[in-house]
Amino acid sequence: MKKFVIAIAILLVILTAGILENVYVDKVFSSLDDRLYDVEQLVHEQSQTALDQLRSLTDWWEDRRRMLELFTYSPDLRAFSVALGETEGSLESEDFQNALSKIQSLLVMSSNLHRILDFNLEDII
């Protein structure tokens, strides 16, 4: 009976950790998408504040990426950081058209990363 209770306790810990991970991933990528849309709007307007907003987003992302890498791994997490850097370079040179295309790529990458890191029934089947 003691082994059964221990097994149930371990199962509950694993389930809780999985649920919390899923909630964290959803929260991070929801916020990431909101921030990307904000930058996209500034780039559409060719606003000079777009670069500052993107730098703020990059700093925010690097903190979240480090946390995500504690419990999950995907080389795409680091590729996303590289894409942010490329977008920053476009904004520094005031190439708003190129920056806009890169932001579109970032939105697609964000969606793909979210699906990769999120729990899906497809992963089980």
Can you give the pLDDT at residue 1?
85
Where the chain has pLDDT below 50, the residues are none
Can you give the pLDDT at residue 123?
63
Question: In the 3-class helix/strand/coil scheme, how is the chain assigned residue by residue?
Answer: CHHHHHHHHHHHHHHHHHHHHHHHHHHHHHHHHHHHHHHHHHHHCCCCCHHHHHHHHHHHHHHHHHHHHHHCCCHHHHHHHHHHHHHHHHHHCCCHHHHHHHHHHHHHHHHHHHHHHCCCHHHHC
Can you give the pLDDT at residue 125?
60
For 108, the domain range is: 2-124
For the chain, the domain total comes to: 1
**What one-letter code names the amino acid at 95?**
D
Can you give the pLDDT at residue 12?
93
Tell me the pLDDT tens digit for each residue of 50-80.
999 999 999 999 999 999 998 888 888 999 9
Can you give the pLDDT at residue 75?
86
On whether the CB atoms of residues 106 and 79 are closer than 8 A, the answer is no
Cα separation, 93 vs 39, in Å, equals: 16
Can you give the pLDDT at residue 18?
84
**pTM for this predicted structure:** 0.85
Can you give the pLDDT at residue 119?
75
